[in-house]
Amino acid sequence: MLKITNLSVEYKGNLALDDISLDIPAATCTGIIGPNGAGKSTLMKSILEMVPVKSGKATIDNQPIKNFKRKIAYVAQRSEIDLSFPITVFDTVLTGTYPNLKLFQNPGKKEKEKTHQALHRLGLDAFKDKPLSDLSGGQLQRVFIARALAQEADYYFLDEPFVGIDMISEKIIIKILEELRQEGKSVIIVHHNLHNVKEYFDYLIILNKKLVCADYIPQCFTNKNLQSAYGEALGNVIIKESEV
């Protein structure tokens, strides 16, 4: 279980996250939702020790996150990735195997086979020799998901993976994430489209700098909680269209 205890993050004197405490059960697909500026990506990055925290901590099975670095895969927002770097799809996915290599060890036959398998699962066999700069947004996102698969992690953190991608890629990615959950892996996703929350997730975190709710979908995805996070008018519209 991933446990967050009294987590606060401050930027330039302003609280980005205010005393967040919650548990994320293992083997769930968890969505993190909230309005713009709610601290969704900040929560994810603070769990992964990518940003400094003012107070609090995150643990997995009561152990520090640093003990699980090799078993945690992170897929950043595409806007944070340098796509001008001259690297092929295959070599990009191959880097997913690096965390499990020993010091000064080069990837060998086993790592290359894992790379081929990950590419195949994401429908990218035909693109393996192409540079990243030749791919569409959806194809790129599948590459980064494939890289995460090649790592063979237990926890998968994805920051806005469905932004700016085609429906085919989104369906492929959702299928893979569901397979990971069925394999006992934990998937945590920063998400913005509230209309498919019930379809994509079984556990939900609703934020607006403070924690609004962290629970399974039937208990968390409610009028009251959405109104608390987004405001009453927007919450009613979301609920009506989502048929919650």
pLDDT band at residue 84 using 50, 70 and 90 as cut-offs:
confident
Q: What is the pLDDT of residues 87-144, one digit of tens each?
A: 999 999 999 999 999 888 999 999 999 999 999 999 999 999 999 999 999 999 999 9
Query: Tens of pLDDT along 157-183?
Result: 999 999 999 999 999 999 999 999 999
Q: 180-227 pLDDT, tens per residue? A: 999 999 999 999 999 999 999 999 999 999 999 999 999 999 999 999
Q: Quote the domain boundaries for residue 177.
A: 2-242
Bridge partner residues of 31 (DSSP): 189, 204
Strand order in the sheet with 29-33: 72-75, 155-159, 186-190, 29-33, 203-208, 210-216
Task: Yes or no: say if 127 and 139 are a contact pair by the CB < 8 Å rule.
Answer: yes
For residue 206, give Cα distances in angstroms to 14, 110, 178, 194, 227. Answer: 20, 40, 21, 11, 11
pLDDT at 191: 98
Which of residues 237 and 87 earns the better pLDDT score?
Answer: 87
CATH number of the domain that residue 15 is part of:
3.40.50.300
The overall pTM is greater than 0.85: yes
Q: Residue 244 has what pLDDT? A: 55
Give the number of domains in the chain: 1
Local confidence band at 243 (pLDDT 50, 70, 90 cut-offs):
low
CA–CA distance, 15 with 211 (Å, rounded to integer): 13
Q: What is the pLDDT of residue 85?
A: 86
Could you tell me the two tokens for 198?
């019930």
Residue pLDDT, tens place only, 1-38 = 999 999 999 998 899 999 999 999 999 999 999 999 99
Tell me, what's the pLDDT at 79?
81
- Whole-number pLDDT of residue 238: 63
- The pLDDT score that the predictor gives to residue 240 is 62
Structure tokens at 96: 């997913």
Residues 6+ apart with CB under 8 A from 218: none
